[in-house]
Amino acid sequence: NGKPTRLLEGFLKNRGLTRDDIKIEATERGRYVFAHLIKKGRKTPEVIATALPEILKNIESPKAMVWNHSRFRFIRPIRWLVALFDQRVFPLDLAGIRSSNRTRGPLTGIGSEFRLRTGIEYEQVLKRTGIIVDPEKRVKKIKLGIARELKKIGGKPVIDEELLRMISGMVERPLVASGTIDPGYLKLPEPILIRVIRDLQHCIPIRGRKGIKGRFLVVLDGKDSMKKNAIRGYEQVMKARLADAQFYYENDLKTGLEPLVPQEKDVVWLEGKGNLLEKTERLIKITAWLGKRYPVDLERLMRAAYLSKADLLTSLVREKDFTPLQGIAGAFYARALGEDRIVAKAIGEQYLPKFAGDRLPETDIGAILSLGDRIDNILAGFAIGRMPSGSEDPLALRRQAYGVIEIMVDKRIEVSLKEMVEFPLSLYPELKGKYGPVLGLFRERLRRFLIDQGFRFDLVEGIIDVCDIPYDTLIRARHLTRFRRRKDFEVLVIGQKRLANILKGIKTVGDVEEHRFCHETERALFRIARNAEPEVMKGVKNKDYDLVLKTLIAMRPTIDRFFDDVLVMHEDQDLRKNRLALVSYVRSIYNRFANFSKLTGGEDAQG
């Protein structure tokens, strides 16, 4: 309607812009708002002197501390600062330290200073002390060290690129070594072992044929001479943490999961939205409703939903070092306590996906459980007034809604977003009248999902205007994208735009009355529409969208003749109403697939 959205208004306000500073441009992915800004250049030393302190201040860490009178918070004491531009030192003050052209080697040799003539010398000067400045070279050396150690002890490292780069960032002189784990702890569930070895100790677990081996790799910072003592230290700390984990695990098995469910009433789930037991009860209702619309074993689903949050009360998960194992812990406890294998796995999948690009639930029950959990989380967020707004999303509801879309597409769940929202919303009396905003969040995430798949914005708009079954929208988008390359695609769009233009501003029309036709072209259009409608309906039902699109294109010549031969807005009121009803009927057939009037192409088509 030409008015800026709230999101655009926030964008303009945050950047000090007005509507005169922006313009709308067409891209391959649709029409976007662009702001063109011209800023006067500044000298490099001036930019660095301003930006560097801010960059360092904005490095967030829960362990940042104040180290001196400057009150500057950082993860380590800042002892010296090198700032060179070409061959000149430029003045910079940070945390009470003045910049210079002098650097030092490893902290063990802190008295050794090196004067730098240019910044280019930095890497080579430190290399002589054993420090590898380039992070890529450190990663390469670590990989070589891992391969060398594995030749001695066998197995495969449990490591990914993220862990590798994190370890690389913790050391200056990487040295890979191996340590030993007490065999008695290897009976613990694998997720506990990996949590301790990899996440808490920042070491590398090794997997053998029978699971995690009694050896681990550690990347030390220093020389071979310090290896023995360092490894002993790692082994001692790891033993203590594994002993704690074993204690929690064995005690939790004695208690079981089912007795913990009634105790959920004593746990606050979300401030302002009741306790954990109430959450579980809603989850059972939502998943039961979803389970009747998707072929799953309802008995297993109900069992998984009932036990899904019990692990939050276990000793293990309540210990902050192991809290990230929520869901995963529920899965291995359920299995150890004799629960059905599928039920246990579903409990472990309930929080998937955890982040963009994460894996999705494999089991159907796990998928439904995850859907129910996310839907309830989103409604609870709306209920306490913490829904997304502009760039703010305090409870990450957008991410959770995106996960709902991903799962529905992956499992091909044939439930519309409208239907999916209606029943869960009835469990929240305080959200009466909020159906629109809640549905809007899911539709917006569906839009984002389809655009992320590479589909054009206008195509996405045309499809979700008439269909909000996520998997179905994806299939339609694929067909329409292929069809768009055809020469006759423009013909299809123009035909729909002519229908839309003639109906613009008209709110209601009646039924078509054949006896009022007074022109053969009217009768011809009605005949072809009646013949096309069952074909289109059959194609939509069977997802044979090539048939649908071919049928719609075949209607175009008759639509053209109708507009050439017949005056729709006739002065005779009865004729006008009947012709508008005919146009509306024809358009409704098109709209069973997409609202083509939202697609670019044929913009000048008139009724």
Largest CA distance in the chain: 103
User: Do 431 and 298 share a domain, yes or no?
Assistant: yes
Whether 48 maps to a domain, the answer reads yes
Q: Is residue 320 part of a domain?
A: yes
514 lies in the same domain as 573: yes
The phi, psi pair for 182, rounded to 5°, reads -55, 125
Give 200's DSSP letter.
Answer: I
Q: Do 439 and 485 share a domain, yes or no?
A: no
Give the bridge partners for 100, in sequence order. 82
CA neighbor of 202 nearest in space, from 232, 173, 171, 226 = 171
| Alpha helices for 308-434 (secondary structure H) | 315-318, 328-336, 341-349, 364-383, 397-410, 417-425
Q: What is the pLDDT of residues 178-201, one digit of tens each?
A: 999 999 999 999 999 999 999 999
Nearest to 77 by CA among 49, 110, 114, 50: 110
Domains in the chain, number: 5
Two tokens at 592? 């069973």
425-455 residues labelled b (16+ CB within 10 A) or e (exposed): bebbeebeebeeebbebbbebbbebbbeeeb
**Residue 217 bridge partners (DSSP):** 178, 204
**Do residue 388 and residue 482 come from a single domain?**
no
Same structural domain for residues 585 and 562?
Answer: yes
* Final residue in a domain of this structure, among 237, 255, 273: 255
User: Are 206 and 247 in the same domain?
Assistant: yes
What percent of the chain lies above the pLDDT cut of 70? 97
User: How many CB atoms within 10 Å of residue 575?
Assistant: 19
Q: Given pLDDT bands bounded at 50, 70 and 90, which one contains residue 109?
A: low
Contact 274, 367 (CB under 8 A): no
3-state secondary structure of 365: helix
SS3 category, 70: coil
pLDDT tens digit string along 10-20?
778 877 788 87
Residues 6+ apart with CB under 8 A from 120: none
**121-163 pLDDT per residue, tens:** 999 999 988 899 999 999 999 999 999 999 999 999 999 999 9
Residue-number span of the structural domain to which 16 is assigned:
6-35
Residue 53 C-beta-side C-alpha neighbours within 13 Å:
16
Residue 346 pLDDT > 50: yes
Q: How far is CA 371 from CA 270, 343, 351, 469, in A?
A: 18, 16, 9, 14
Q: What is the pLDDT of residues 428-459, one digit of tens each?
A: 999 988 899 999 999 999 999 999 999 999 99
Q: Is 463 domain-assigned?
A: no
